[in-house]
Amino acid sequence: MAITTNRLRDDTCERDWIWEREVEAASWEETRRLSVGAWERQFRRLRESSSFYARKFREAGAGSSFVSLADLSNLPFTTKEELRQALDEEPPFGSNLCVSPIQVKRVYQTSGTTGAPSVLALTRGDMESWTLMGTRTYYATGIHEHSTVLTTFGAGPFVAGHTHFVLLRTGARSVPVAPGDTERVIFGLRAGLADTLLSTASFAQYLANRLEKTDADPSAIPLTHVVTGGEPGGGIPGIRDHIQRVLGVTVTEVMGIGDVAPSLFGECPHQQGMHFCGAGQVWVELIDPDSREPMEIETGAVGELVYTALTREAMPVVRFLGGDIVRIDGTSCECERTSFRMRVLGRRDDMFIVRGVNVYPTAILSVVAEFRPRVTGRARVIREGSQTSIEPPIPVEVEVTERHGSDASLVAQIEDAIHSRLTFRSKVTLVPESDFGESGYKTRLTVRK
C-alpha cells in the first residue's frame, strides 16, 4: 500500500504553546546572541570549578584570558577517553565535575566503548535542560499533546530513559514497555493503546518484518507514526520506506549523544533530516573528520559534529568529539524551523577506508535494503582487528529469511549492486535470521573478528 498522505503534516496544533514557548521562536541570530552570553558564564565556571578543564585551558594558553565562542577552535577537543581518565582520577564523578556532589540529583551509567561504564551526573538544572531539548526534539518529530506514545526505551541504564520525562512535558499519553518485550508491543499497538511507536530502527524493522508474515494487512493496525532513535536506520530510504509501507506509518528519527543530551536532533514530518534542537543550550561545530579543521555548517557539507555545553552544570563538555559523521541537508525547512537539518552517515569508529575512500556501513545497508523481501534489511561488515583500511573484497554478512539461506543468485546480485553503487568489490555471506544473532533491539554495523 502506497502512502499518499502524511497524516502528521495535517496536525492542527502545529503552533501551540510548546512551539511558542519552548521550541525556537528565536531566529538564528537571536540564538547566537543568547549562546554568546551563556558561554561567557560557562567558561568562567569551568575555569573556577573544574580541575579537568582548568588544566586543559591552561595547557592551551587560555589560563587567564577569555576565549570567545567565535574563537572556540583555539581550545582543544575533549575525547571520551579523557572523560574516562577524569573519572578514574577523582571517583565517583570525576575531575570534570563542576558542582558539589550534593547538587548531583540523577546519575546514569552509560555504556563505555571499552569495559566499565562511564558515569553521567546531572543537577536539577541539567535535568530541566535535557527535558527542554528533548521536548523540542520530540515535538519536532510530530509528537504533540494529542499523541499516544508506546515507548520501548527503558528508564535506565541508557540515557534514552530521559524520554519518559520528555513525553510527560509534551502532554502526550505514554505507554511504557520494556525493551525487547515484543508481545506487549504488538498487543498494545493492535489494541490501539498508542498511535506512535518509539523504538530503535532495528526493532521497528523487525516488527514490520514480523507483522508482514503474520498479518494479512499490518497497516490496519491503528499506528500512524514511528519515531526511531539510538542508531541510524530511520533515515536510510530502503529501511524507512519498508517500515512506512508495511505498517502504514510515517517514520521520523531522533538522535542524541549521552555526554551532551539524550535527545538533541529531531526530524520533522517533512522528512528532510533531523533538526538541531539544542539552540542556546549546546553549541555545535562541524569539523573535517580527517584534518579536524573547522568547517562551515552549510548544505551538503559532510563532517563530524563537535559539541560544547553552554548551560550544563554538573558535567559540561567543551568541544566534545561526538564521533558521528553527518551530512548537512539544509539550513531552512518548510516547517519554518531555522536550525540546520542533518542525516547521520555513520560512526567514525565504524568507518573504513577502501583504496583511499571513506566508507560507512550505512551505505552498504542502504544498498542491501533494496533486496527485500529476500533480505530482512540487516547487514554488517566483518573486519579484522582494529584495521581501518580494508582491501576489497569487503566481507559483508547479510541477514536473509530462512528460505534464501543458500541463494547463490542473490549473493551475486547484492555483490553487483554494491560494486556498481559504491565502486568496490564485496564478498557477501548470507546468514539466516536464526543465526544472525543479536536481538532486534540494536544492530552493530561492524563486527571485529
Binding residues for Zn ion, rule: CB under 5 A, are 268, 270, 333, 335, 337
In angstroms, give the least distance from the CB of 272 to Zn ion: 6
Residue ranges of the alpha helices (H) in 236-348? 237-247
Pairing between strand 118-122 and 106-110?
antiparallel
Of 388, 207, 372, 364, nearest to 290 by C-alpha is 388
Shorter beta-carbon distance to Zn ion: residue 333 or 365: 333
Shorter beta-carbon distance to Zn ion: residue 31 or 426: 31
Shorter beta-carbon distance to Zn ion: residue 127 or 335: 335
Residue with cell 515507548: 151
Of 232, 220, 418, nearest to 325 by C-alpha is 232
In angstroms, give the least distance from the CB of 18 to Zn ion: 15
In angstroms, give the least distance from the CB of 27 to Zn ion: 15
CA separation for the pair 155, 152 (Å, rounded): 10
Partnered with residue 228 across adjacent β-strands are 199, 253
Cis omega (within 30 of 0) on the bond before 289?
no
CA separation for the pair 177, 188 (Å, rounded): 9
Instruction: Please give the grid coordinates belonging to residue 400.
Output: 536473509
Instruction: Please give the grid coordinates belonging to residue 70.
Output: 567565535
CB 301 within 8 A of CB 328: yes
Shorter beta-carbon distance to Zn ion: residue 268 or 328: 268
Shorter beta-carbon distance to Zn ion: residue 268 or 428: 268
In angstroms, give the least distance from the CB of 273 to Zn ion: 8
Shorter beta-carbon distance to Zn ion: residue 89 or 336: 336
> In this structure, how many other beta carbons lie within 10 angstroms of the beta carbon of residue 271?
17
DSSP state of 391: P
Shorter beta-carbon distance to Zn ion: residue 242 or 337: 337
In angstroms, give the least distance from the CB of 271 to Zn ion: 9
In angstroms, give the least distance from the CB of 337 to Zn ion: 5
Distance of CA 275 to the CA centre of its chain: 12
In angstroms, give the least distance from the CB of 376 to Zn ion: 31
